[in-house]
């Protein structure tokens, strides 16, 4: 487990974060030493991208007066948490949107630089590292904006509909998760994110049955 402070926030990186990043980067497909480089580039790119995402949440929470905010990176994601935080519904929406929007903004900025001027001045590994960061940032930001709980889009949906309509939120979330999982599988053949979305749908169903919902960003 790795722990450090960034911009005043304590950050904890759990071991599974690195393992999942390696898996997503293609670690299971390594057959010779040349196959190792894409994995080694994907891991730091994913780590920085997801950390930026959580910093977006944390900085916005601080702006709304929260203190003692911590960031935890786990699996292929993370969360920013402040004990006892109280937000209006409008603030909840802004906090939820801040993560993917900051992540997407950083990805688009580097994409612009790659296309405009930097490509010819970069080494091959630096270019591939930057490209990995751009791809991860844009994909993860878009995925997080899908209205599936507990992704950021689901948090926005929950805040928009309000606490009295949590069953409607979970019902919409569950339906969207199944539809998007099918679309991703049918269009790309990928099973990783469909499995993740189906898992979220199952958790939404359990919460719907028990009248519960999770919290956090």
Write the pLDDT tens digit of every residue in 39-79.
999 999 999 999 999 999 999 999 999 989 999 999 878 99
pLDDT, greater one: 113 or 137: 137
Q: Quick one: DSSP state of residue 71?
A: E
At residue 211, the pLDDT reads 66
141 contact partners, CB below 8 Å, separation of at least 6:
53, 100, 101, 103, 104, 107
- Tens of pLDDT, residues 145-165: 999 999 999 999 999 999 889
Q: Which helix (H) or strand (E) holds 44?
A: helix 36-63
- Average pLDDT of the segment spanning 24-49: 88
Residue in the block written with tokens 């990783």: 192
**8 A C-beta contact, residue 149 and residue 157:** yes
- Work out whether the CA dihedral 51, 56, 61, 66 comes out positive or negative: positive
**8 A C-beta contact, residue 54 and residue 99:** yes
- Tens of pLDDT, residues 125-138: 888 899 999 999 99
Q: At what angle do helices 36-63 and 124-144 cross, to 10 degrees?
A: 50
Q: SS3 for 2?
A: strand
- Tens of pLDDT, residues 164-193: 899 999 999 999 999 999 999 999 888 888
Question: Taking the CA atoms of the chain, what radius of gyration do you get in angstroms?
Answer: 18
How many C-beta neighbours within 10 Å does residue 109 have? 12
Tokens matching residue 47: 């780590």
**8 A C-beta contact, residue 71 and residue 58:** yes
At residue 133, the pLDDT reads 96
How many C-beta neighbours within 10 Å does residue 34 have? 8
Beta strands at 77-82 and 2-6: parallel, antiparallel or unpaired:
unpaired
């Amino acid at each position: 487990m790795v722990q450090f402070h960034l911009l005043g926030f304590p950050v904890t990186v759990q071991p599974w974060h690195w393992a999942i990043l390696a898996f997503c980067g293609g670690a299971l497909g390594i057959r010779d030493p040349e196959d190792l480089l894409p994995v080694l580039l994907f891991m730091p790119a994913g780590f920085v991208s997801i950390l930026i995402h959580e910093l977006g949440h944390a900085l916005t929470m601080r702006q709304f007066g929260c203190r003692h905010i911590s960031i935890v990176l786990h699996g292929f994601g993370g969360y920013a948490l402040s004990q006892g935080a109280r937000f209006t519904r409008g603030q909840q929406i802004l906090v939820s949107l801040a993560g993917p929007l900051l992540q997407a903004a950083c990805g688009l900025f580097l994409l612009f630089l790659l296309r405009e001027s930097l490509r010819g001045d970069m080494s091959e590994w630096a270019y591939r590292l930057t490209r990995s960061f751009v791809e991860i940032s844009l994909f993860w930001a878009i995925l997080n904006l899908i209205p599936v709980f507990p992704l950021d889009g689901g948090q926005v949906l929950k805040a928009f509909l309000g606490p009295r309509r949590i069953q409607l939120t979970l019902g919409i979330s569950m339906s969207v998760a199944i539809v998007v999982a099918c679309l991703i599988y049918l269009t790309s053949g990928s099973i990783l994110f469909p499995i993740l979305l189906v898992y979220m749908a199952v958790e939404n169903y359990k919460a719907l049955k028990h009248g519960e919902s999770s919290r956090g960003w």
